Structure 1
Amino acid sequence: MADDKQGRDEQADREEERQREREVEETRTRGDEKEPVRVNPGEELGDLDEALKSHDYPATTNELVEAYGDYELETQGGKKSLKDVLSVTDDQIYDSAEDVRRRVLGLIGR
């Protein structure tokens, strides 16, 4: 193919078509995947969000589990208690409710 405007236009058109085909194929292969649980920001942890905001910081994982371990969280694998979610971590120190929130959301896959 000659390196002229028409040749470049045809090549660009073919690339756009290949990109559309790749997107369609990706959509097909991902069609049976579960949709992630979507909620409004700030509401991901339900009542636990409010409880964490009123807690005194810094706080350790153990302190948080002792205070809020029975709170139920909606995870991709079903409901789990905060105690179960945090059981996979070492005793860490959190400086704020937002620190705890980010850690918990990371552990439950959101």
Structure 2
Amino acid sequence: MTDDEAAPEAVYGVTFGPLKPALREHAYPVTKEELIEQYGGFELDHADGTDRLEAVLRRTDVATFREPQQVRDAILAVVGVDGTGNPVDPETVGRETGDWSRRSP
């Protein structure tokens, strides 16, 4: 088990679990539909409960993702909350710590 899988750290109130390393290792660019087909069943825990990745991605306008950080940002914009329980401001997404860069093949 990697550190990414062992540490259930939340980013803006969203816990990615094993989805984080899966997204980091995926080949990019990738379409929203391809991500839904491959990872749609993954569950994301967040302040309002739990959602499958498929449901979250269907609520975003992004059609193609160039890198894992872009997927993360789209997810956070849909279900993330800031420290006060308010929805994440899309302008501030991506400023937290944590490595979401692609892993080398």
Class of the TM-score when normalised by the shorter of the 2 chains: 0.5 to 0.7
Structure with the larger strand share: 2
- The normalised TM-score by structure 2 is 0.60
Query: Which residue in the other structure is 1:96 paired with?
Result: 67
Aligned structure 1 segments of 4 or more residues deviating by more than 2 angstroms: 38-41
* Aligned residues of 1:74 and 1:80 also touching (Cα < 8 A): yes
| Deviations 1:61-98, CA, capped at 9 Å, x for gaps | 10000010000001221011000111223461100011
Larger fraction in helix: 1
Unaligned runs of 5+ in 1: 1-37
For the pair shown, the structure with the greater C-alpha radius of gyration is 1
Letter of the 1:106 partner, please give it.
A
Match of 1:70 among 34, 41, 65: 41
* Candidates 81, 84, 100, aligned match of 2:55: 84
Q: Distance in 2 between matches of 1:56 and 1:98?
A: 13
Unpaired runs of 5+ residues, structure 2, are: 1-8, 82-105
Q: How many residues align?
A: 72
Task: Specify which structure has the bigger relative contact order, considering alpha-carbon pairs within 8 angstroms and separated by 6 or more residues.
Answer: 2
